[in-house]
Structures are given as structure tokens and as C-alpha cells.
A and B are shown apart, each in its own frame.
Chain A
Amino acid sequence: GAVVSQHPSWVICKSGTSVKIECRSLDFQATTMFWYRQFPKQSLMLMATSNEGSKATYEQGVEKDKFLINHASLTLSTLTVTSAHPEDSSFYICSASRGSGVNSPLHFGNGTRLTVT
């Protein structure tokens, strides 16, 4: 069964509004979660690493003030796309690992398809 739950699965919003996406680890605690973005026909690109109890680590080129990440508990990370624009329309996917070692595979949520009109 699913080990990572993501909500909502799709959202349509107007340009200039903000959208919050939730990512939950099911039956395990995740001190670290990852947020990816995937544009059509492209691969997954890591946006940021969400760290429980501390600031997220953003990849180069990702605006931290636009993509707000909060990891307030060991099972929940949220990504808020602020002042969304049509170019932010994409497939956002969170992931988490049961373990912390390099040999612990990532499990992905079902993704959130964001469409900004």
C-alpha cells in the first residue's frame, strides 16, 4: 500500500493566488522529505529538501520565498506555491524514505497537478 500520501491530487487556481500541498508519511516518521517538480515530457527535478524542525534546503534556481516549505511534524510537510503564475503549472511530487541511509529507497506521493489560469 501507499507509504506517502499527498493532497490534493489536482488543483486549479487563478494567477496571483497561493496553493498549499500536503505530504504525509504513513506509518513511519520522516525527518526528511523531498519536493520534486515535473514538467510535461521532462524528468523529475528536485526543488527542495524539507527538514523537520528546521529550514528547508532549496536547490539552485528555486525561489525559497515563492515555494514555502514547512515541515512541522515528523509525518507532515507542506509546500505552498505563493502568488502562482501560469508558468508554475506543473506536477508536484513529494517523497520520503523510511530510513536515513543511502540505501533507503524513496517512496513518492501520488503527486499534485497544479494548473494556474
Chain B
Amino acid sequence: QKEVEQNSGPLSVPEGAIASLNCTYSDRVSQSFFWYRQYSGKSPELIMSIYSNGDKEDGRFTAQLNKASQYVSLLIRDSQPSDSATYLCAFATGTASKLTFGTGTRLQVTL
């Protein structure tokens, strides 16, 4: 069983719509969860981090964590073409931020 599962996509949404990205994980002791955005040919950049159950909002982004169900999601409101990228979810267990990544979901925001 994969440790982190994401739908590879592509997920296509029109400009201005809400994009919903989902991720499930198998390690119940995972403590920290992160969403990274990766443009083609570039390294990942941190979008959101979430550590406790519930929602966390930052601008157009909202991360949702449900540890009981072992899923974490990312909502992008008012999607823009510049949001088109691959979104990687990752989790950390223990110290020193050693991350396990999902394979990413490719998001396409269409005009």
C-alpha cells in the first residue's frame, strides 16, 4: 500500500472556480502535513502546512485535515491560470521534517 495517495489528474477547472485536491495517507502516527506546488521543471514550493484537525486558511488556499479518516485536502478559491501546476501533499513523522511525498495532482486552470 502506498504511503501517500493522490489522484494524478489532470484536474481541470475553469478560471474563478474552486479547485479541490485530495490526499490520503496510511501512517496513523503522521504529525505534520504539507502542500507543495511544483511548476514544471522547478522545485516544490511550500503552499500550506497543517498540524491539527480542521481547516486552515491562507488567502485563497484552505487546507483541511482529518486525522481520523487519514486525509488532507487543499481548496483553491478563485482559481487562476497561474495556479496550474502539480500539487504535492507530504507528511512528516518525527523530527527534522523528513517528508514522504505523494505523486502529485496536476491542476489545469482553463480560461
Choose one: B41, B42, B46; the contact of A105 (CB below 8 Å). B46
> Which of B11-19, B59-67, B72-80, B90-98 is found at the contact surface with chain A?
B90-98
- Would you give the shortest CB distance from B11 to chain A, in whole angstroms? 16
A42 at the interface (CB under 8 A from B): yes
Q: A93 vs B103: C-alpha distance in the bound complex, in angstroms? A: 16
Interface positions of A from 28 to 49, Cβ below 8 Å from B: 32, 34, 42-46, 49
A67 at the interface (CB under 8 A from B): no
Choose one: B44, B92, B100, B101; the contact of A102 (CB below 8 Å). B92
* A106-B99 contact given A43-B88, A44-B88, CB 8 Å threshold: yes
Beyond A91-B43, A109-B43, A111-B42, 8 additional pairs, beta carbon < 8 A = A45-B101, A46-B98, A46-B100, A91-B41, A93-B44, A102-B97, A104-B97, A108-B45
